[in-house]
Amino acid sequence: MRHIIAAVVLIVAASARAQSPAPQPVFTYRQVMIPMRDGVHLQTVILTPAGKHGPLPILFRRTPYGVPDSAPTEIAANLKELNADGYIFVIQNLRGRFKSEGVFKLTSQVNLADSTSTNETTDAYDSIDWLVKHVANNNGKVGMYGVSYDGLTTALALLHPHPALKAMSEQASPVDQWMNDDDHRYGALRYSYSFEYAVMEQADKNKNTHFAFDTYDSYSWYLALGPVSNLNAKYLHGAIPYWNDEVAHPDYDDFWKREAWVRQLHSSSVPNLNVAGFWDQEDPWGPWQIFRHAAEHDPDHTNFMVAGPWYHGQWQREKGDSLGLMANGGHATSREFRETIEAPFFRYYLHGEGEKPSWRATTFQSGSNKWRTYAEWPPRESTPTNIYLHADGTLSFAKPASAGRAAYRDYVSDPANPVPYRQRPISPTYPAGDWRTWEIADQRFVDNRPDVLSYVSAPLDHDLTIAGEVAADLFASTSGTDADFIVKLIDVYPENATPNAWDEDAGPAPGQYAQSVNGYELPVAMEVRRGRYNTSYEHPSALVAGKPVEWKIPLRDRDYVFLEGHRLMVQVQSTWFPLIDRNPQKFVPSIYKAKAGDFVKATQRVYSTAALPSHIVLPVMP
């Protein structure tokens, strides 16, 4: 949600180019303060395309990141496809951001039962009502769109949409900040990201502020900091409201349930194009949940799902022909999405031209590198199929034998030496750099650690296609009374995946080694579960030391082909730092109040027997 996607903002073109005459604006510019029902006024910019005639629909985006201060002199690359059809673009700052009045709360709590409350849902309604009445030359139809936080403000309009809202595209919207979005994964705190984003948004209402680290390797900085409580004690001193709320509510209590706005969504009231990235490092889960909740009542079939090989918001970048070293088979997936899916969707619902989508889900399937359409999701043809972790370190579709083999593998998890979530040095989240692509990083960087278990299959003798929800079902124990388990499903490339061919006298060409994917360990799905919440999210409890228990770990929706000759790998570990805060491995009432002495080593066992068959559930296609 929180990563700023520069490409979605209408960027003012540089005027310092030595040209004559000066570039002319491509929009007329108007800035207004739109009144809300409680008297607060929101800073809003209206951009009407120059040279377009006849009533036009409005495309509306609500953001905490700022609005243009003048008319652009060229069209941003990600808006060319939409702009060709003709829209009045409207961008609005949320309450309490920049020149908008009111208080910015950094929450998505909406109480539909309270008719006196104001929130992002009521602000969207009031703004649309004003726009259709006061913007010249509009055709009475409004669309909303946006990525990340802007996707959230779009999606929240679903809870009480204005009659003029005829279409929307929420893209990478969060829905439940405790369960599986930016801030937590099933109660495990997304530590570095949550802290750094809260500072960026709430340290100063008039600008985005990056926390000033005095160490480049944030892994070292967070480890030296000690327990989570030291952030307020040493640095924030209670000055960041959202961070205070996070550490005051460790469990899935009423605060987080009110934040989980999707619990109130049960129908498709406005045609909605939900968009997700399979390697979105921030909000990969929310759009799928909106899609599923809206599908509970969708008689007109206006609820659609799109997913592709993208990091957070990459579909609004110029091309999208690769993700890190992973090429997309010559497809410029981002541009193709905008040309063939996004623009036609709004064209149909706001201009009345073209055809309604005939599919329910469209995905770009990595591995085969092809666009796929599905009449339903998950596809009816997919079959849940178990692939088992064996105690000899292998992975296969054969269930472990009942006797005669080792029952488990184990390792020692040490909070003083946690497994880094990506290769060090780990740069701060903002300004964004390698943060964008860490979810596709080669996992060989942890292969030699004794606290990471790897299970590997034989090379595949045929392509293996999965489409649907992936999950891990782990049977594990700890010598402590609390623990985390992280499970990664990985595609291991053959050692000869990329020919290393060059002139022996000249040596390798520049970048030859950097571009090789030989033996690459590509993460396909990764997730964490925190033991204290194994039986209840609301009421944490201690684990029984040494007792094997079942850990069900959802790994989200995927559409992927493991190619012939590739191998499947599963990695299991108990720390993922500083992406996830360290579990003390000793049960305490709140990890956010843990003392340094509470953090202890623990021996973790992963079982592989007929009675305790640790496995991954793959939605295998025929």
Q: Give me the torsion for CA of 500, 504, 509, 513, rounded to 10°.
A: 40
- Spell out where 513-594 has E strands: 521-530, 549-562, 567-573
547, pLDDT greater than 50:
yes
- Bridge partners of 492? 521, 567
Burial of 299 (0-12, 13-18, 19+ CB in 10 A): exposed
Query: What confidence tier does 15 reach under pLDDT thresholds 50, 70, 90?
Result: very low
> What is the reported pLDDT for 52?
81
Buried b vs exposed e over 449-461: b needs ≥16 C-beta within 10 Å? Answer: eebbbbbbbeeee
Which pair of structure tokens corresponds to residue 332? 């410029």
> What is the reported pLDDT for 163?
98
> What is the reported pLDDT for 411?
98
> What is the reported pLDDT for 7?
41
- Bridge partners of 370? 365
> What is the reported pLDDT for 465?
98
Which pair of structure tokens corresponds to residue 508? 């390798």
- pLDDT tens-digit series, residues 178-220: 999 999 999 999 999 999 999 988 888 777 788 999 999 999 9
d(CA 44, CA 128): 12
Residue 558 contacts residue 527 (beta carbons within 8 Å): no
10, pLDDT greater than 60:
no
- pLDDT tens-digit series, residues 98-112: 999 999 988 788 988
For residue 5, give the nearest of 150, 153, 154 by alpha carbon.
Answer: 150
Residue 471 contacts residue 532 (beta carbons within 8 Å): no
d(CA 37, CA 160): 15
406, pLDDT greater than 90:
no
- pLDDT tens-digit series, residues 71-124: 999 999 999 999 999 999 999 999 999 999 999 988 788 988 888 899 999 999
> What is the reported pLDDT for 13?
42
- pLDDT tens-digit series, residues 353-391: 999 999 999 999 999 999 999 999 999 999 999 999 999
Q: How many CA atoms lie within 13 A of 209 on its CB side?
A: 15
Q: Among 44-53, 83-92, 297-306, which stretch is predicted with the lowest mean pLDDT?
A: 44-53
> What is the reported pLDDT for 513?
43
Mean pLDDT for the stretch of residues 474-491: 98
For all residues of the chain together, what is the average pLDDT? Answer: 93
504, pLDDT greater than 60:
no
Mean pLDDT for the stretch of residues 414-437: 92
> What is the reported pLDDT for 20?
64
Strand 549-562 and strand 370-374: the pairing is unpaired
402 vs 328, more confident:
328
pTM of the full predicted structure?
A: 0.93
> What is the reported pLDDT for 492?
98
DSSP conformational letter for 582: P
Query: What confidence tier does 53 reach under pLDDT thresholds 50, 70, 90?
Result: confident
Query: What confidence tier does 574 reach under pLDDT thresholds 50, 70, 90?
Result: very high
> What is the reported pLDDT for 262?
97
Query: What confidence tier does 5 reach under pLDDT thresholds 50, 70, 90?
Result: very low
Burial of 600 (0-12, 13-18, 19+ CB in 10 A): middle
d(CA 455, CA 462): 20
- How many CB atoms lie under 10 A from the CB of residue 557? 26
Residue 415 contacts residue 583 (beta carbons within 8 Å): yes
Q: Give me the torsion for CA of 469, 453, 492, 617, rounded to 10°.
A: -20
Query: What confidence tier does 1 reach under pLDDT thresholds 50, 70, 90?
Result: low
d(CA 449, CA 569): 16
Enumerate domains of the chain plus CATH numbers: 6-175+260-374 (3.40.50.1820), 383-497+514-620 (2.60.120.260)
12, pLDDT greater than 50:
no
